Structure 1
Amino acid sequence: MEIIMVGAKSTEQKKHCTLRFIIILSGIWLLLCAPQVVKADDVEVMNSSDLQGMLNENSSVVQNAPVNTIAPLVATITDSGTFGTCDWDIDDEGLLTIHAGVLGKGIGNWVADGRMNDDITNVVCDPGVVANENSGRLFFGLKNVQTIDVTNLDTSNVVDMSYMFACSYNDANNSLHQNVSLINIIGLNNLDTSKVQDMHNMFYNDIKLVSLDVSSFDTSNVTDMNNMFFGDSKLVELSGLDKWDTGKVQDFSSIFNYLPLTSMSDIEKWDMSSAVDIGSMFSNMRNLTTLDLSAWDVSNVEKAPLLFYFCDGLTSVKGLDQWNYHKITDIRWLFYGNTKNQNIRDIEGWDTSNITNMNGVFDYCLGLDYLDLSGWDTSNVTDMTYMFHYTPKLTEIKGITNFNTSKVTKMGNMFANCGVPVLDLSSFDTSKVVDMSSMFYLSSNKNIIGDFDTSNVTNMNGVFSTSTIPNFEELDLNVLSWDVSKCRDFGSAFSGNPNLTSLDLSQWNPKSATSFNSMFSADPNLKNLDVSTWETPNLTSLNNTFYQDTSLEKLYLSSWNTSKVTNMSYLFSYMTNLAELDISNWDTGKVTSMLQMFAYNPNLWKLSLGPKTQVISGTNSSGTNIGSSFPTPPAKNTEIIDPTTENKYYSISPKWQEVDYDNGGSDHEPVGALRTSSELNTIPREENTTYVWQQQPYMDVSMDVPDLSYGTASANQGVTPREQDSWAITLNNNVYPATTLNTTIAVSMETPLANDAGDTLDDSFIFRDNTGNDSVISTTPTTIYDGKVTNGVKNLSWDSNHGFLMNLHSFQTPMGTYSTTLDWTMVNSI
């Protein structure tokens, strides 16, 4: 029998339970054998003999029938397998066909590695496909799937549909990605969900789905709907929710998170009596404008975090004032970003006695101007971070003076950018608080009243950052005497305050501190800061600590222990008025990054360094610049900023000069050696050393004088020349900067010229200048040179007829060997 198959797929099946032949007979379709449909409760299957009989009865028809010989292209099978008892195959067009049988549990094995299949673009189920009781993640990993047809899928026994149509996938690094191709799910109205208990994440992150009709869903046994439609950001039509029975649902968290719907009227009558968690139900529904939840029974709700989070289009929520919330424990971020909501104050009468977490409950409520929380019981609250954060229009929080904060451990950002002019926190018990990071960040409070116990605080990062508090001494918050002994992170604690001019933290003992990153950075008017008493044995990072403190003039930091510090990048950068810096005991041996540590310090004229205080230069192994250098003094006459004196002093060279206090040096009359900026780093120091800008020329002048001899002479011999025909003294002018000196040289004898017997030659030793004038050299100084000496070497020389000569003018001169010692005096002036 010849059978020509037209329009059918040529496939080889591993199991042969049914056989389908479609024959074209004179243009009429003739179905010889219908496929056997397998259902969950079927027990009979057509046997092969019945099938063969049907074929035999029709063989003559088949043989004599005219055949249409025009056939379309036949798809090619590229992959196949079996999941549970269901055979499946994938053709070269990306169609996954699931054949009759019972599916396996969880992710289909058409996703071979359990992470991703990017070949499948469409899915269809043949009649007779029965879903597993656990069908969670059934279609997970289908990266490029566009349609899923479940018209024929029997789900009558399914209990778990979690992630069922969430086609997210994992890449080779096991990172989760959302599906960006699924646009249609066909046959949802045929799904039997009567036994389903778990629908969490069922349509999770299907960001191309535009519409869903779930009106046929039987949800009477469902207990978990969390994240059911989470992230379906294009889903503008979701119909049928009003038909749902939600009486058993306990978890609604994030069910509609990120949906673009404008109305949720279909859920206003939902039975919420079993609900325990409604957190994030409406989070990020930015198109939603109104909600009426007055019919909801929330008496069993325990968690409602982020319930209306970032619903910035929401103008009203009816029914909040009627809610019985006595079991609630968590309302964190409840109204975050509700910039238009007119019903926020409806929660003022809630029973908050069991609430432990109030983190961010009113955060970013830009329109909120008044709160009356007098009736709130906060005795069990442990977390108040971000509670009133970013409420710039808030002028009063009535009842805050009665807050019980005895159990609170976290207050980070609690009043950051809060508009209340005077915060009376006198009732606050902060003895258990460990986190005060950014607590008063960007605050414009005129006063903050309280007596804080900070003995257990470990994090003060940004505690007053970008605030406008001008004077902490006048603040009624005992800040200057806080116990900070356990605090590890002070990053940006006082940074960015435009009004701060003076800060005395000498009573602080930050012995546990590891980070001072940006602690005082960008305080443009801070002129006086006292941190000179601090001991910092655990400090590891000083990145940007004083960056852009353009008014600060003096820093005395020699008490700081920096032996563990690894990062000093931008530490003193752009401190344009810094004049004096003492880091004389600093050990920089473990620092690996000093990028621009001293960038732009044009007025730093006094610098105290220790034996272990050095800078690093160059790049690290990855080529990143990590280095810095000590500042170079300005070469031109730059005035020194020193308010301790009325005199004016100026730099005269690009060099530093050691003060050398032990040898009489002072800050403005140093006497020590000159050093370039690089030499501060390369020439070792044996002790703490203070350097200042060079303010006077460095007087390095010397004179070399050779011996004089006259040999043997006779009495009354007259003028007797030296034995040296040409004799010279050498003057070395190494004054820095290079300077021509006005030099005077005078000579005298320590004792008269005498022999061993004590006879003297009076008036016999003379100096004859180059014009022939003679001067007697005696024990009184005689000037032999008065002139200029330029920078470098200058020789003063005389021939045998000039210079130092002997004038033997008496016959009475006793015989003998005469000698004396000459004293040379050189006086230089500029």
Structure 2
Amino acid sequence: MPRRYYSLIIFLLLIGMFSCSLQIQAASLQFTNKPSVLRQPGHPTTLATWEINEEQVLIIHSGLITLDSQQHWPWWQYHNQITKIVIEPQVYPPASMHEFFAYLPQLQEISGLENLVTDQVTDMSSLFSGDFNLRQLDVSHLVTNQVRDMSYMFANCQNLTQLDLKNFVMQPQTDTLWMFWGMNNLWQLTLGSQVIFTADPHLPPAPGDDRLMPRGSNYNHTCRWQEVGKGQADNPQGPWRTVTNIYSAYRAAAKRRQCTFVWDQNWWAFNNKTKTLTLYQHEIDSQAQDNSYWPWQADYHRSTKIVEIKPGFKIRGSFCALFAGFEAVEHYIGLENLDTSQATDLSYMFYNNTQLQQLDVTHFQTAKVHNFANMFNRASALKHLDVSNFDTSQGKDFHLMFNHMSALQDLDLSSWDLRQAQNTDGLLKNNYQLWKLTLGAEVRFPTNPEIAPAPAKKTPLPDNANLINTDPRWQIVGAGDFEHPQGPKLAAEQIWLSYQDDSALHQSYVWPTQKAGALILKSVPEQLEFGTHALSSQTCIYYTQNQQSFAVQDTRLDRQEQPPWQLLVSAGPWIRVNHPQQQIMGQTFYYQGQYLGNQQPVILYRQKSQKLQSKYQWTFEPAQGIKLIIAPRSVPQPGLYHATLTYELQNTPSN
């Protein structure tokens, strides 16, 4: 064979080898595994190819994907680099898309999901599972009516915030277990009427940690979700829902409907078990004119027992009737968190809080408030109320502010400036326990505050049952103190008239009082006649001829709270009748082992008074009572000498 022929063959062989290498490179870009499903009529016969470009973008080209989902998808080797996926038109995935886009930790975007033809797909389980950094996902064009497995479909998509499934068509057999597990930042979820949850999708509850919502200026405060209803996603107006409620509402047997759910953004919540109204961080520009302005008033104002206010709750403008009609409320927790610095109207704020026994408003800032009318009206269980820090310099309307506070005992308005006041009608009306009132030099009553007269019916002071009032007038404390005033007495109307102009003085007024009841020694033996006696070699012991009877009366109203009382007796010397200088000294009287001589008192009786008992009587038999002891040679002649016994009733000293 000629030499040039051999060289030609070698050249052709080299060309063949080069051609073969090009085919291998092209094949590496195709899905070259054996088809796992039959090709459907109308589907292309061209196999889809994929590539990773220099920007770490996975591009899936048009065609038919025939890989078996039991193996890793071919781009898995790049799972730590892929940041974006682009899907070209007319990509036909296999029946099982299990983990098709799953576990791509750097993936942030998927473009062209609408180009996936999914009408024959039966398995979308774990489709996007573990895509931690995926920020947006549009699945509205996925055809799902043949899908039987959606378990873990979006599991652990931790940065996905919105998901719209309104176009999903799901079958009663479709597995939805753990479908939303780990989607802790998903705050907006739309479900369509053909969504069916056959197993718990484990939608996470709202975080409930007072965080600012991803959109708008609202905060999430509870673990509930909320229907958007007629509102917007950042201003929902529908009812609250727990994740269990949502799961149940989309079971096969439920009347399902299209609905968008967002994290609960309500700035208040009512716990029906504890009857607690909670107000969360929120700012309101309020134009309230009555209680209908506040959303809880319609259903919960009569049943609320506790109001809890979280930090950051602020109202600008009117607080009118904020807690009005809370007739069962017992406690306000966190009232110091209520920002009143921009308040203009506090009228009716605590109106008819009839069960409330304590209220701390010392943190209130009221410099801009012009309306205080009825603020505490009918808070009838409050005994004490400190409003001394109120700035009332801009106040115009104060009518009935403290009306019907029937348990209120004291009120200090000495720091108040009422020079701008226009209406003080009934400011102090119907306060029949108010016995201590302090008014300052800048207090003005342009209209009658209706200060109640003192009761004048021997009424005990509300906080001191040992003092009673007996005069309908009030009394200026003056140089005395509240329980022992020393100033002149005034009728209630005179107090009002004293605060009309710049002649007003800083004064404290109280009910005139006197002691209530007493501990009285009602009776003792008028005289002790010693007749019978027992003789001994040393002394003569004389007993009284009759029993020795005593009586004590205790009419103190708080006697059960007082210490025990005791009856003491002491004895003087025997004195000669008509010759007082002649005396028999020594220990001549004797009781229960103790001598009464030399003016040393001896306790005869000791008792603790009882609330339901005011009279105490007792009797000593002659041999048990006070006895006379005289030496035999110094027995006085009958009728020639006399001695004095002194009785003293006293409370025992407190230690």
TM-score by length of 2: 0.37
TM-score by length of 1: 0.31
Structure with a larger share of its residues in strand: 2
